[in-house]
Amino acid sequence: MKKAQAKLFKLYAKIFLYFLLITILFSFSTIALHELGHFVFGLYYGCKPVRIVLFDTSIMTTYTEMECPPNVNMFLLGISGFFVVLPLSLLYFLISRGGERYLALIMIGFNFVIAVNDFDVYLKLPFSEIFAIFGSLLIVVGEILLIEKTIF
Amino acid sequence: MIFSQTYPIITYALMLTILTIISFFVVLSRKRKEKKVLLILPTSLEQEIRLSITDGISRSVEIFSNAEKVPLRMYKSCIFVLDPKENLDKQIESFKKIREQAEDSIAILISESLDGVSSLKKRLPWLKAFKPSEIEKVREVIHSQLR
């Protein structure tokens, strides 16, 4: 019994690492898409692109820098990152089969988490941290469904 | 104008790790609650035994004809029906391996001649032997183990 449990523990550890890696990869791809959304909409509204930084070693974060005209619609530009990821993740959900489709839920959830700053600064939404909590819940639901439907 | 995330990447990686741990444990605890019963049934005896054997059983039962194909998973109990026409030594070894995956296990042998059963029972104390005419008894034993 102990031998089987040790084997099982090893197997579960491998499965856990596999799902962790997939979740992190998908979530960081979501950040790239989110920044691309700001960038593309910025170009459309006449902003001059400066840079998209995927990892800045000094502030350890991701950002998009643009020089925009003063009359630019800040509301649309602020939510553009969020609204670019949404249809793409829904499309992924519709075209993929099996448990992998729930990666889309993780993408949507993480999109809520990373958009908190945009909701706060550009949309002036009160209690924007609620979106982070909602996003985290979506990630957990997505992961539970992903693990259950693909492995167990 | 800068559009940036609130927290550093490392914070998000940590958050995702914690959420993955929570999800993984939720799935494991749910699966632990609904532990299955493993039934290994040789193809030659399938028609006689399998018919309505799981009737009235709420616990889910996984049935395999080949012990090699049993996945690495913990079961509530294991019922290994030995095939008298196949190599018994090999089947006994398979049973010894698989019984580690279950909380309790029994092996069942259905054979016309039960001459060598006592020596087999020495090697396999969990063995229950029956004659083909006692198929109803076999079904009863399996049924009580499934409950």
Cβ atoms of B23 and A140 within 8 Å: the answer is yes
| Residues written for chain A | 152
Cβ distance A19 to B16 less than 8 Å, yes or no, reads no
Other CB atoms within 10 A of residue B135 CB: 14
% of chain B with per-residue pLDDT over 90: 14
Please, which pLDDT band fits residue B72 given cuts at 50, 70 and 90? confident
Per-residue b or e along A88-127, where b marks 16 or more CB atoms closer than 10 Å to that residue's CB: bbeebbeeeeeeebbbbbbbbbbbbbbbbbbbbbbeeeee
pLDDT above 80 for B13:
yes
Mean pLDDT of chain B: 84
pLDDT above 80 for B83:
yes
Q: How far apart are CA B101 and CA A48, in angstroms?
A: 63
Q: How far apart are CA B66 and CA B94, in angstroms?
A: 10
Give the range among A42-56, A67-81, B58-72 with minimum mean pLDDT. Answer: B58-72
Domain span at residue A95 reads 2-150
SS3 category, A58: coil
Q: How far apart are CA A105 and CA B80, in angstroms?
A: 41
% of chain B with per-residue pLDDT over 70: 95
- pLDDT for position B7: 82
CATH number for B35-146 (one of 3.40.50.10800, 3.40.50.970, 3.40.50.2300, 3.30.70.2740): it is 3.40.50.2300
pLDDT above 70 for A14:
yes
Please, which pLDDT band fits residue A28 given cuts at 50, 70 and 90? very high
| Every domain of chain B and the residues it spans | 35-146
- pLDDT for position B138: 84
Please, which pLDDT band fits residue A1 given cuts at 50, 70 and 90? low
- pLDDT for position B52: 65
Q: How far apart are CA A69 and CA B101, in angstroms?
A: 67
How many structural domains does chain A have? 1
Interaxial angle between packed helices A2-44 and B9-33, expressed in degrees from 0 to 180 and rounded to the nearest 10? 140
Cβ distance B3 to A81 less than 8 Å, yes or no, reads yes
Of A38, A116, A152, the CB nearest to B6: A116
Of B1, B27, B72, the CB nearest to A152: B27
**For residues A101-121, average pLDDT:** 93
**For residues A132-151, average pLDDT:** 93
Q: Which residues of B touch A57 (CB under 8 A)?
A: none
Please, which pLDDT band fits residue B44 given cuts at 50, 70 and 90? confident
Q: From residue A105, give the alpha-carbon distance in Å to each of A30, A109, B27, B138.
A: 11, 6, 17, 48
Interaxial angle between packed helices A2-44 and A129-150, expressed in degrees from 0 to 180 and rounded to the nearest 10? 130
Of B5, B21, B27, the CB nearest to A61: B5
Q: How far is A101 from chain B (nearest CA, A)?
A: 17
Which residues have a Cβ under 8 Å from the Cβ of B61 and sit 6 or more positions away? B36, B37, B38, B39, B53, B54, B146
pLDDT above 80 for B46:
no
Give the range among A32-41, A61-70, A77-86, B97-106 with minimum mean pLDDT. Answer: B97-106
Cβ distance A113 to B15 less than 8 Å, yes or no, reads yes
Query: Amino acid identity of B128?
Result: K
Q: How far apart are CA B109 and CA B116, in angstroms?
A: 11
Q: How far apart are CA A22 and CA A2, in angstroms?
A: 30
pLDDT digits (tens, 9 = 90+) for A85-100: 999 999 999 999 888 9
Give the range among A37-51, A125-139, B124-138 with minimum mean pLDDT. Answer: B124-138
Other CB atoms within 10 A of residue B27 CB: 20
Give the residue with greater pLDDT, B2 vs B39: B39
Cβ distance A20 to B7 less than 8 Å, yes or no, reads no
**For residues B114-132, average pLDDT:** 82
Half-sphere exposure at residue A117, Cβ-oriented, CA atoms within 13 angstroms = 17
What is the interface pTM, i.e. ipTM, of the complex?
0.91
Task: Find, among B74, B78, B64, the residue nearest to B35 by Cα.
Answer: B74
Q: Which residues of A touch B4 (CB under 8 A)?
A: 59, 61-64, 117
- pLDDT for position A112: 94
Cβ atoms of B137 and B109 within 8 Å: the answer is no
A25: nearest CA partner in chain B: B13
Mean pLDDT of chain A: 89
